[in-house]
Structure 1
Amino acid sequence: MTGPVTLPPLPRTARLRTADVVGAGLLGLRGRPLRAVLSALGIAIGIAAMVAVLGIGAASQARLLDRIAALGTNLLTVAPGQNLFGENVPLPDRSVDMVKRIGPVRSATATGGVPGATVRRTDRVDPRESKGIQVVAARLDLLGTLGGRPVAGTWLNDATARYPAVVLGASAARLLGIDGPGRQVFIAGQWFAVTGILAPLELAPEIDMSALVGWETARERLGFDGHPTRLYSRSVTESVGAVREVLARTVNPQDPGAVTVSRPSDALTAQLAAKNTFSGLLIGLGAVSLLVGGVGVANTMIISVLERRREIGLRRALGARRRQILLQFLTEAVALSALGGIAGAALGLAATVGYARYQGWPLVLPATGIAAGVVSSVVIGAVAGLYPALRAGRLPPTEALRG
């Protein structure tokens, strides 16, 4: 008798190498280049927006930090406040001398507002047209404490401070139409000679809108009462917090609650926080665009599966396994999203470099943001292509060949 015939085992389906998987995935993209570009565009826009926002935000933050470091964080200002009855409490005449006795304080000075005094270009201008410019009595060491400088002319000195001379803040000079010394302005019914114009003071913007005259001249000619209305002090940076704690009690020991102490650099720090919040909002919008791009990739892959049913059926009939079909289409979706992510990162980086150079900001490349953008695009592509890939892998060969 003839025994049973033993057939040789069927050969195992060959596994696709990584290069084969990538090649099969890119084949679908090369066959429909316009559709691939349009699908990747949504991903690219989202990544470009996120990278540009992170890059420009980092450059802006670096610029602002440089400004804060250059201006210094050790300037404190003191202004009169109100008592429990809502009455204004002036600063004592000797408050500057008292502040100078604080150990870590390196310099202290003050300005005093001259109520009722107006600044006009000529005596023919209506006194009510003051344009918000204030007349301020200034001590000679004011610029040294504030770190200011004149852009034209000179600051007050021992000679000019005794005469009707005035130095204009940057904004005041612009509003009055004066660009240099040698002109005259009409202050409280008297002519004052302009001896200088100051550069803008970011930590003391109130000076920019002021016409500054000598302390004694303000007393003798403008009826100034001698009470400081704003006091400025520079301290050792490490001791600013300690100085801030004792400053109110030093200036007005009898009623420290009627003294307002502030740190001008805190306003710049708040500006930095506001920019970070705004950047977070823009990043959120970029993420929404990225998700929309993912939906576009998913839609493209579903259409691709429907159009390539015969190809899928033929490959299955020739022995391709479901997971190989799944891996092919999943690779195509990831490649599509990765190309969009790389293009978007390049566009965002170009926008960051161009804008930073245009603004003169230090260039800070958001390496983490670029990497995160590309990785997130790959993840979005994998998620978006998972369902179409599963659908392609589960498609029966006979049904696919009929389609």
Structure 2
Amino acid sequence: MRSELKPARLSLPDILRLGAVGLRARRARVVLSALGIAIGIATMVAVVGLSESSRADLMARLDRLGTNLLTAEASEDEKGMPVKLPKNAVAMVERVGPVLHATATADIDARIRRSDVVPQERTAGVISQAVRLDLLSTLGGQVAKGTWLNPAGERLPTTVLGSVAAERLGITRTGETIMMNETRMVVIGILEPIELVPTLDRVAMVGFPAAERHFGFDGHPTTVFERSTDASVDDVRAILARTISPGNEAGVKVSRPSDALAAKAATDEGLTNLMLGLGAVALLVGGVGVANTMVISVLERRQEIGLRRSLGATRNAIRLQFLTESLLLSALGGVTGALLGAAATYAFAWVQGWTAVVPPWSMAGGLAATLVIGVVAGLYPAIRASRLHPTVALNGS
């Protein structure tokens, strides 16, 4: 009794070898098709990596600078009249239990010029403020050149410039002089940029006593800075305005400088989503390219398909062959794109001085997306190939 013949099942290595045959035979086309996938995946991986690296750097900066700094600025009361903070505002804030440090600055009426031959209206965008000696320690600022104000210097015609102020005035070293109104002031220090309060970078700072002596300063601060324990920031924020100006708290504007950096992180997240959308479009275009390549491959290999069908290959085997070929093509582009995206992230992070962060999920997600693209792009060509009749295929019609 003769047993019925059954088609042999292809093993996984056989399926992979069959799928790779078409790729090796058309290398230029494969490279161009894989390039579309690679660009999409590289864009998505790089965008996620750069976003995470930037966010990690931002969080590190926040940890270094601290998020426990609050500012209270004089504003306008309910009638729209300007409010003056009390002279003892700092002392009042320091009496609040959780407060660790408090200091203040005040705007003064002094036009700043590089020298007395420069017209008074040309101030180079630099403003003047009176400051307390403990301002730098409270804000965590650093002196780039020279020295900070001391108990003797705060009474003399000396000034410390913010980084931008020094640049605009053309001051590159200490010992040079500038004009504040008609008073010649000696520059004794230039500060590093103050990240939490960047407005101070454009300021020429003098001590409270010098401001009172030379510029008619009345002793009322304009802005109060305070640092409290991390756990009590919200509680201090809730009472800071009425502590400084009892009965007129509407005229005191309280803010948290670190919120600006946090807002920057949110802005970066929105930009990241936009770039991910562009990467997805590039990936979709790459998927269309893969589908086009597979359709052309089926048309060009009709006789090969007919021969294999005549020799006993089943429709399922033909479908698996072309579907595997599509998957391999997409995977080639996906792996290349993931590596390129990671390399771009590390290179850009190195240039920026960041710690490079490439989330594993972005790599895994990119590769998974390429496999989905491979299945979707290769499904129709694979089904079309399996439906070719052997006689028609061999005839080439």
Normalised to the residue count of structure 1, the TM-score between the two structures is 0.97
* SS of 2:103 mapped into structure 1: strand
Structure 1 gap segments, 5+ residues each:
1-6
Q: 1:266 — aligned with what?
A: 259
* SS of 2:188 mapped into structure 1: strand
Structure 2 gap segments, 5+ residues each:
none
* Correspondence 1:325 to 2:298: no
Q: 2:105 — aligned with what?
A: 111
Any residues of structure 2 matched to 1:64-103 within 5 Å, and which?
64-103=58-97
Deviation at 1:350, TM superposition (A): 1.1
Q: 2:176 — aligned with what?
A: 183
Q: 1:170 — aligned with what?
A: 163
Task: Give, in whole Å, the separation in 2 of the partners of 1:166 and 1:31.
Answer: 76
Task: Give, in whole Å, the separation in 1 of the partners of 2:294 and 2:347.
Answer: 35
* SS of 1:135 mapped into structure 2: strand
Task: Give, in whole Å, the separation in 2 of the partners of 1:321 and 1:19.
Answer: 17
* Amino acid in the other structure paired with 1:67: R
Q: 2:32 — aligned with what?
A: 38
Task: Give, in whole Å, the separation in 2 of the partners of 1:187 and 1:83.
Answer: 31
Of 45, 49, 58, the residue aligned with 2:43 is: 49
* Amino acid in the other structure paired with 2:320: L
Q: 1:369 — aligned with what?
A: 362
* Amino acid in the other structure paired with 1:66: A
- Does 132-141 or 334-343 show the bigger shift? 132-141
Any residues of structure 2 matched to 1:223-262 within 5 Å, and which?
223-262=216-255
Q: 1:341 — aligned with what?
A: 334
* SS of 1:125 mapped into structure 2: coil
* Correspondence 1:307 to 2:295: no
Of 182, 193, 215, the residue aligned with 1:200 is: 193
Q: 2:288 — aligned with what?
A: 295
Equivalent residue pairs, number: 396
Deviation at 1:320, TM superposition (A): 1.2
* Amino acid in the other structure paired with 2:366: G
- Does 353-362 or 285-294 show the bigger shift? 353-362
Task: Give, in whole Å, the separation in 2 of the partners of 1:179 and 1:373.
Answer: 50
What per-residue deviation string (whole Å, max 9, x for no partner) do you get for residues 381-402 of structure 1?
A: 1110000001011111121111
Q: 1:19 — aligned with what?
A: 13
* Amino acid in the other structure paired with 2:241: A
Task: Give, in whole Å, the separation in 2 of the partners of 1:53 and 1:206.
Answer: 31
Normalised to the residue count of structure 2, the TM-score between the two structures is 0.98
Q: Give every structure 1 segment of 4 or more consecutive aligned residues whose post-TM-superposition deviation is greater than 4 Å.
A: none
Task: Give, in whole Å, the separation in 2 of the partners of 1:351 and 1:148.
Answer: 34
Q: 1:3 — aligned with what?
A: none
What per-residue deviation string (whole Å, max 9, x for no partner) do you get for residues 144-177 of structure 1?
A: 1111121111111111111111111111111111
Task: Give, in whole Å, the separation in 2 of the partners of 1:139 and 1:319.
Answer: 92
What per-residue deviation string (whole Å, max 9, x for no partner) do you get for residues 348-378 of structure 1?
A: 1111111111111112122110111111111
- Does 262-271 or 358-367 show the bigger shift? 358-367
Q: Percent identity?
A: 53
Task: Give, in whole Å, the separation in 2 of the partners of 1:379 and 1:113.
Answer: 62
Task: Give, in whole Å, the separation in 2 of the partners of 1:349 and 1:125.
Answer: 53
Provide the aligned C-alpha RMSD in A. 1.0
Q: 1:150 — aligned with what?
A: 143
Task: Give, in whole Å, the separation in 1 of the partners of 2:157 and 2:107.
Answer: 16
What per-residue deviation string (whole Å, max 9, x for no partner) do you get for residues 123-153 of structure 1?
A: 1101111122111111111111111121111
* SS of 2:144 mapped into structure 1: strand
